[in-house]
Amino acid sequence: MKAAVLYTPGSAEQFQIIERPIPAPKEGEVLVKIRAFGLNRSELMTRKGLSPSVTFPRVLGIECVGEVEYDPSGSLQKGQAVAALMGGMGREYDGSYAEFAVLPKEILVPFTSSLSWLHLGALPEMFYTAYGSLFQALLVKEGEGLLVRGGTSSVGLLAIQLAKANGLKVVATTRDPDNESLLLENGASHVLIDDGSLKDKIKQFYPDGIDKALELVGAATLQDTLHCVKPGGVVCMTGMLSEVWSIPDFAPMEFIPATVYLTIYDSGQIRTDAAVFQQFIRQVEAGIIKIDANKVFTLDKIVQAHQLMESNKAGGKIVVVNHFDEGG
């Protein structure tokens, strides 16, 4: 099988496409034939060496969709469509940047769909992160106002759609004025150009502060986002677009405004029920939710795919697809 192996961290050019034996699953594991996978910002940070727990060489990739190739327990049949995400994938053990992967059965989500592998490849981590952030962390309700900071990211665009579909008014941000139409098309009611300070700008729409905020830029803008929310409001930090993990000399009493709540969402810690993912797939099939999956690469173009992700110009999810010769 082909795999994109990172022997040492660094630039995108560090990836090497090599041939290696197809791995064999042990008890509690399943061999998955990977049909497609989305790229994620955390993989870019790991590639740069910013994930201290990751050792090399490593096949990156924290999510995928594909088919069961072999389940030693026999509970999953060959050909069953599955999604996989997190659970140490691409970090503690080799992940999805390959044609096959051995994955823990506990992280597999069986599903059925008429969507193409390309479109399915965009969904797992993006959906679980957006849905979990809104409904499990922020506990959003119809009629509330929601700030999505980092709105042009793949998670941001989906969160905007999900929030609008559930009766929220969304204020979305971008650093590039050219992206305003993209955010409005995805359901944002208002767009703010993010220059690093939004706490005064948000007052034109919500004088007392907005109800909820989804922070996707990261620690670099978190304090400003906290000041955009009204007393009793909630901020969920989910993304790391700024590639800043931590807050130096964090002093909670100075950092967090009084009576404003701060939480996080991490799909590696909290997992939404598989039935909710299946329902989401049906919404995509019906055209209720629109997924932009037109930034498509093959595995041998993983360098170019990472370069696009690093440029911040994708405007949606980047997907890598594997094409297999199904002939005899």
The pTM of the whole model exceeds 0.85: yes
CATH architecture of 2-123+291-321: Alpha-Beta Complex (3.90)
Q: Can you give the pLDDT at residue 212?
A: 98
Q: Can you give the pLDDT at residue 326?
A: 61
Residue 321 pairs with which residues in a beta bridge? 36, 298
Dist CA 218 CA 239 (whole Å): 5
Sign of CA dihedral 265, 271, 276, 278: positive
| Amino acid in the structure at residue 251 | A
Query: Phi first, then psi: what are they for 185, rounded to 5°?
Result: -65, -30
Residue 18 pairs with which residues in a beta bridge? 3
Give Cβ neighbours of residue 278 (< 8 Å, ≥ 6 apart): 111, 112
CA-wise closest residue to 127 among 158, 88, 164 = 158
Question: What value, to the nearest 5°, has the Cα angle with vertex 166 and ends 163 and 167?
Answer: 90
| Amino acid in the structure at residue 86 | M
Query: Phi first, then psi: what are they for 142, rounded to 5°?
Result: -55, 135
Cis ω for the linkage preceding 52 (within 30 of 0): no
Q: Which helix (H) or strand (E) holds 181?
A: helix 180-185
Which ranges of the chain have pLDDT less than 50?
Answer: 327-328
DSSP assignment of 103-131 equals: EEGGGEEE---SS-HHHHHTSHHHHHHHH
b/e burial code for range 280-316 (CB count within 10 A of at least 16 → b): bbeebeeeebebbbebbbebeebbebbebbbeeebbb
CA-wise closest residue to 216 among 267, 173, 271 = 173
Domain ranges of the chain: 2-123+291-321, 126-264
Note the pLDDT tens digit of each residue in 117-135.
999 999 999 999 999 999 9
Cα distances (Å, whole numbers) of residue 96 to 122, 129, 220, 302:
13, 18, 29, 12
Fold identical between 2-123+291-321 and 126-264? yes
Q: What is the CATH number of domain 126-264?
A: 3.90.180.10
Tokens of 38: 């989305």
Asked whether the beta carbons of 220 and 197 are under 8 A apart, the reply is no
Q: Can you give the pLDDT at residue 237?
A: 96
Asked whether the beta carbons of 93 and 58 are under 8 A apart, the reply is no
